[in-house]
Amino acid sequence: MKLQGNKVFITGAAQGIGKSIALSMANEGADIGIADVNLESAEKTAQEIRGLGVKSIAVRLDVSKQDQVVHAFEVFMKELGAPDVLVNNAGITRDTVLLRMKEDDWDAVLDINLKGSFLCCKEAVKIMAKQRYGKIISISSVVAFMGNAGQINYSASKAGLIGLTKTIAKDYASRGIRANAVAPGFIQTAMTDILSDTVREEMKRAIPLGQFGTPDDVADAVLFLASKASDYITGQVIHVNGGMYM
């Protein structure tokens, strides 16, 4: 049990990659707080996790709203105790090219993907600094490193997460806090199911391992970063992309 006794706060974990991360951590003995805009589906995931014999709660949270983030951490502290691990997973896309992108679409993606992580880190670090231990893992993307046609807002938000991660790693290492990122490539979830067959085939050709990743591939990397096995690692990025970017 790699995470026995740990308490993990995961955003956007009602479904997709976040749900896989939550399940894999619960299987390693962690108690899990699922914070998601979709409370109904977050509660279903929490119920599934409780079935594994650990504690789990669901909290409705829009990560881009500071008052909701503060409240979600208060609920987590009351129900599960101080978090040892924060996983910034909530993320959205609003794709188009620069000249067609509306300010609202830029703001929505930056607010959820980047500002949301900043707000969650702030609440988590307040608690983790006091207990002199904590792990923050943020889900970035391969596009932070490569760019991607039609994803100017998303690529910028995910690149921003890398700067945020490295800076937290430097600022709070002395308090026992490690901050790392995982940068997935093309992972099969609801987010990528909406892409056309042509785009999917094109992407597959760009992956040396010749196949898309699964949410469990990402969960394995996050589990490593959350566990004691990675205690001497901070400010790093683990790429989970089948070789798409090296």
- For binding to ligand NAP (CB under 6 A), which residues are involved? 11-12, 14-18, 36-38, 61-64, 89-92, 112, 139, 141, 184, 186-187, 189-192
Least CB distance to ligand NAP at residue 174 (A): 29
CA 48 to chain centre: 20
Distance CA 213, CA 34 (A): 23
Of 45 and 230, the one with the shorter C-beta distance to ligand NAP is: 45
CA 79 to chain centre: 22
The candidate with the shortest Cα–Cα distance to 220, out of 184, 246, 192, is 184
Q: Is 154 a catalytic residue?
A: yes
Of 127 and 187, the one with the shorter C-beta distance to ligand NAP is: 187
Least CB distance to ligand NAP at residue 48 (A): 14
Structure-block tokens of residue 225: 């970063």
Q: Are strands 177-184 and 237-240 parallel, antiparallel or unpaired?
A: parallel
Give the residue carrying structure tokens 């806090």. 177
Element (H, E) at 58: strand 56-60
Of 125 and 218, the one with the shorter C-beta distance to ligand NAP is: 218
Q: From residue 99, how far is each of 150, 194, 195 by CA, in Å?
A: 10, 22, 21
Least CB distance to ligand NAP at residue 207 (A): 12
**Annotated catalytic residue: which of 154, 172, 232, 245?**
154
CB 184 within 8 A of CB 218: yes
Of 47 and 131, the one with the shorter C-beta distance to ligand NAP is: 47
Least CB distance to ligand NAP at residue 157 (A): 8
Q: Any idea which residues carry the catalytic annotation?
A: 154
